[in-house]
Structure 1
Amino acid sequence: MGKKKKEQKRIAKKLLNKYRLVILNEDTFEERVSFKLNRLNVFVIVSITGIFLIAFTTILIAFTPLREYIPGYSSTSLNLKAAKLESTTDSLNQVMRVNQTYYNSILKVLTGDVKTVEFDIDSAIQSQKLNPEEVDLSPSEADIQLREEVAREDKYSLFSGDKTVADFSWFPPVEGTITSGFDVNEKHFGIDVAVPKDAPIKSAASGTVLLAEWTADTGHVIIVEHGNDIITVYKHNSSLTKRQGEKVKAGEVIATAGSTGELSTGPHLHFELWRNGYPTDPTNFIDFE
């Protein structure tokens, strides 16, 4: 035990032995600065300095933009851009899914492969949205006041915002004898009107050409969109005079009659009228004879 105590005293004496650090002028040997130190003081000062440097560096990296210059740390601006791009990409994918469903429905109209109403673009858009049960749909006080104001303004409006098929002024695309009528059970979603070859086919109402192309079954086909989810379809034409995206007026020539496509047996026009994806009997609104 005595030996151990002596060893401890010797170590303590070494730590507490005082030393003098002197800085002299080399030419005159004049004493400029002097410090009294011991090993314990030096150890404490070095330890505190190290801890301070580590803490300062950590704060500098964690709470300042300087961390972006350290390899391995991502830039804040890049993170924001990445989040924005991810959101934009998700929105574009959603729009593409809706449009693809819509185009698939149009192709089914062209080929006649439609059993019942399978598509409504409004319902497709709604399906991409949140479940209303998960969202608070109760109107706010400001919303209620706005609705009342709009209702008062619309009370005496002369125009209706949503037209039905009956609200349109329809123009007969051709005049002739109806050889095959509208029959959903037979998957005949329009009517066949016998006309001379190369007779002019006219647009039943003003609108935009949604599609103008050739198909093996129905030959030259043109589809015109008239707004309010109403479209008209003209099949088995010998040629088309309008292209996709062009604006047309009611009664304007858009094609010439023919007998193109594998499903045609003679010169005629196969005409279809659709509303919200539902086929409608055109003879309820248009006089072809």
Structure 2
Amino acid sequence: MAKQKKKKVITRLRRTYRLVIMNDQTFEEKWSYRLTGLNVLTAVSGIAMVLIFIGIMLISFTPLKRLLPEYPDAEFHEQMIQNAVRLDSIEHELMVRDQYIRNLRHILAGDSRTKIDDVPDTVELYGNLNMEPSKEDSVLRRRVKLEQQASLLGQQFSNNKDNIKKMTFFAPVKGLISNYFNYGEGHYGIDIATEKSSSVHAALPGTVISSFWSLETGYSLQIQHPNNLVSVYKHNESLLKEQGDLVVAGEVVAFVGNTGEFTTGPHLHFELWHNGLPVNPQDYIDFE
């Protein structure tokens, strides 16, 4: 069956036809041409290939290619070249900087074999260059800042160690004082009512000596400051610091909460101890 259909197609392609042009009025034959279906198919295919070839040549070697939607224009192409040049310059500058730092390290270390190396012409790619500060760098910066603040506090205490009013305190929170300092009743701090989840700040630079949760005071934090000064933060929602962490004045160490038994709402219970004795924080800090 399939062979019969194939033979019929071949037979039709080989049939001879005559293309005639004649006068419509006199029916006089003006021009005629004999052709077959195979000739017509071959001619059409050849013309299509020629047109496709001409179209490809026009798009490849003439400005017509800019009419294509995804083809970059001349301005974009020039910008790409400029970006490549700038990237190469940045890589070269990074190489020079790294070489300078290496040489400087040798000089500071007193290495007598130090020599200034020439920057090579070929520059390695810095695709994985990490410009974020490392953990060690952050700890060093915090320690230096802490030492600077501690030095300032030490100078203040050197004049009069018993007078802490000269110190610059950072208010842990701002709010309404709901319960005042009362040494006789055993309330060794003050309660500052404020919005829940508000930031709790370190009053002075120091070291966290205790970070814990208890049934009575909830999440609590104690910070040791220079010259036997300790600040206490109770009833927090959560703590951001652990025992041994260094903090600077004003750094967020916790969030205001309502944890523990002895609390009636979101507030911070703040205590200040000097030389082992509680002092009234209101004498040194403005909480409003």
Give the TM-score of the pair, scaled to structure 2: 0.44
Q: TM-score by structure 1 length?
A: 0.44
